[in-house]
Amino acid sequence: MSQDVAIIGTGRTPYSRAKPGETLYTVDEYIAWAADLALQQAGMSKNDFDGQGLGVAHAETAHTVNWSAATAENLGISPQILLRADQGGASATAMLIRAAALIRAGVVDRVLVVGADTPLNIPSAAPGLPLSPERSRGVYWDFQGPFGVMGATAQFALVLTRYMHQFPGLRFETLGKIAASNRFHASLHPGAIYRTPFTVEDYLASRVLSDPIRLLDCVPIVNGGLAYVVTSGETARRLCDKPVWLRGFGEANNYYHGARALPDITTTGFAQSGPAALKMAGVSHADIDFFQPYDDYPFISMMTIEDWGFCKKGEGGRFIDEHDLRFDGDFPLSTDGGQLSGGQPGGAIGGFMPLIEAVTQLRGEAGERQVKNARIGAACGFGGIPYGRPGRSCVAVVLGNDD
């Protein structure tokens, strides 16, 4: 397995629910904060990225069309290469793939990748539903908004309803197990926004928001920022005693399963990108020590497990029922609490979380929630809600350490 590209530093700011009395930071301040944390861990400064690479994830609060260049200006960096990703929750992992390609080609030696958003600072149609272009024109407003589809929860409720029709037998208790396990992990993560554990019974008692999706199926929207530093293998070995290597990746965009006129919406692009990442890494499912999905809803975590091939399509519920999802179990899942309990800092930026938690685990720095002897982990990016399908972009990565 290749050891020529590694992540050597990550940063995650404290999150905010923008409650009365809390300090409201701008998106630019969160980006600078997250970048500083990542640079500190990497043992680098922003000046080390002059003539190198800078990657910037799209934000709903981006205040210029030249977002990546404006971010370079705000950070005081003069990069040779700018990357910008607008693939929603797949942006962080997509930029890792682009950065690795540039590093392997010898164009740059290192790339700083940043993302932040402050959706709670901007006007909203409803709590957590910013008045962004995506929700005020285009496909969403042409085909869904006029009929009362108010954001992601209503959209994904349709997907879950179809799944439960197509694969009878999925129990709400199973989805509750995922949500409760995530909250348990969040209780062990000082940066999670919600840390009080709850039970499956609490999950079942939570009110239905868009049938069949409940309150405890949903991510809490937050303000915050995240970042990471990716370098060549040579630089990683020189600066870092705990590099985390990019072993393999796969990517699928605008994926259709079946006929384009009537695709099967119960299968995501991870059916392509997950197996591709494993093949490139030269590992099997049994080699994966933990799994970090993009968990905007519990059933998306379950469908992602299916599509990676850990079990057959339609058998995800049984897989969840038969495995221990906690960090010390046989299938550690969303070991930082995920977005479900950790918080989602805007739709695009939440995708940094699975990647950064995977790095944290492989560096052995996860504290109370550390997966024992973690060597190889998988992380996912999942972005965009197209009309009639469950995700525009599905990016899969396999990471490993030196152990």
> Is 294 inside any structural domain?
yes
Q: For residue 309, what are the CA distances in angstroms to 255, 270, 277?
A: 17, 9, 12
Structure tokens at 381: 């990016």
> Is 392 inside any structural domain?
yes
Cα separation, 314 vs 330, whole angstroms: 21
234 lies in the same domain as 266: no
258 lies in the same domain as 240: no
Q: Crossing angle of helices 352-362/91-104, nearest 10°?
A: 60
- The predicted pLDDT at position 274 comes to 98
> Is 324 inside any structural domain?
yes
299 lies in the same domain as 161: yes
What are phi and psi for residue 402, nearest 5 degrees? -85, -5
> Is 133 inside any structural domain?
no
> Is 141 inside any structural domain?
no
pLDDT digits (tens, 9 = 90+) for 101-141: 999 999 999 999 999 999 898 866 455 455 555 555 666 67
> Is 179 inside any structural domain?
yes
> Is 211 inside any structural domain?
yes
- The predicted pLDDT at position 121 comes to 87
Cα separation, 291 vs 300, whole angstroms: 13
- The predicted pLDDT at position 61 comes to 87
- The predicted pLDDT at position 142 comes to 75
Domain edge (last residue) among 210, 245, 280: 245
- The predicted pLDDT at position 347 comes to 79
253 lies in the same domain as 373: yes
- The predicted pLDDT at position 185 comes to 98
260 lies in the same domain as 355: yes
Residues 376 and 247: beta-carbon distance below 8 Å:
yes
Quickly tell me which residue has 């404006």 as its tokens. 70
189 lies in the same domain as 260: yes
Structure tokens at 96: 């890792």
**pTM of the complete model:** 0.96
- The predicted pLDDT at position 144 comes to 75
Q: By residue range, what is the domain housing residue 374?
A: 148-220+247-400
Mean pLDDT by 10 residues, the chain (403 residues): 90 95 95 98 98 95 92 98 96 98 98 96 60 60 76 90 97 98 98 97 98 97 97 97 98 94 94 98 98 97 98 98 98 98 93 98 98 98 84 96 88
91 lies in the same domain as 164: no
41 lies in the same domain as 57: yes
241 lies in the same domain as 296: no
- The predicted pLDDT at position 135 comes to 57
- The predicted pLDDT at position 1 comes to 53
Residues 400 and 312: beta-carbon distance below 8 Å:
no
- The predicted pLDDT at position 126 comes to 53
40 lies in the same domain as 116: yes
Domain tally, the chain: 2
- The predicted pLDDT at position 136 comes to 59
pLDDT digits (tens, 9 = 90+) for 195-253: 999 999 999 999 999 999 999 999 999 999 999 999 999 999 999 999 999 999 999 99
- The predicted pLDDT at position 137 comes to 61
> Is 136 inside any structural domain?
no
212 lies in the same domain as 240: no
Quickly tell me which residue has 């809390």 as its tokens. 22
Name the nearest CA neighbour of 379 among 403, 401, 402, 352: 352
214 lies in the same domain as 286: yes
- The predicted pLDDT at position 390 comes to 83
CATH code for the domain in which residue 78 is found: 3.40.47.10
Name the nearest CA neighbour of 332 among 365, 379, 297, 278: 379
- The predicted pLDDT at position 129 comes to 55
